[in-house]
Amino acid sequence: MVINRLYLSDRTSRSKYLIDTGADVSVIPLTTASQHLPPASLQLFAANGTVISTYGQQLVTLDLGLRRVFKWPFIIAAVSQPIIGADFLRHYGLLVDIRHGRLVDSLTKLQAQGTVQQGNNSAIKAVNGNTKFPRLLAEFPSLVEAVSTSRKLKHSIITRGPPVFSKPRRLHPEKLKAAKQEFQGYSLIPPFSGCITCHCGGRIGHSSRCCTPPADF
């Protein structure tokens, strides 16, 4: 499949990088200096499921013409061209504008002009898309979507007028004793850091019942 691709050159090394939002990771090809490296355990996958061998990482410093320097650990892989992937773009907040052939820095609003060329789908994936698991996720996208609620319940805090308060009053000794039993003996009212009114009902000498009104928050 032939699609439009954005290319941008590093002003320091003069290397041309493919800006690919479909690539999960950023990669650079093997060079004469890195050909001696042994293969790493990490494997990447092309768009058609072909395995791409990797050979470790290399910290690369780029000057893309956006008035700031970008440093990123690129994966050394068996690819034909260096690719700036979604991990790099997401980290630095860079936006790809294929229509105008430019890279936009969302932080500084500066733009770097590149070139748009037609090429094949060269997306680099960290997971093989030809296995049954990605196909299942594509068939049932709701499995990985955020769970939302349809209830229209809204919580609010009343900020109009003076704050609601209750004047502290001493309890009758019999009611105080009953309240302590409720708090300590039955643990019906858990400890609370706020200050709310405790209402005790019942006659003196008879069983009492204590309750607290629901907090308005």
In this structure, the strands spanning 2-9 and 115-120 are antiparallel
pLDDT at 137: 72
CB 16 within 8 A of CB 29: no
Strands (E), 101-174: 102-105, 111-113, 115-120
Q: Is 211 helix (H, G, I), strand (E, B) or coil?
A: strand
Q: What is the mean pLDDT of residues 50-79?
A: 93
**Residues 101-116, buried b or exposed e (16+ Cβ, 10 A)?**
bbbbbeeeeeebebeb
**Which of the four pLDDT bands, split at 50, 70 and 90, describes residue 155?**
confident
Residue 132 has pLDDT above 50, yes or no: yes
Q: What's the rounded Cα separation, in Å, for the pair 214 and 58? A: 60
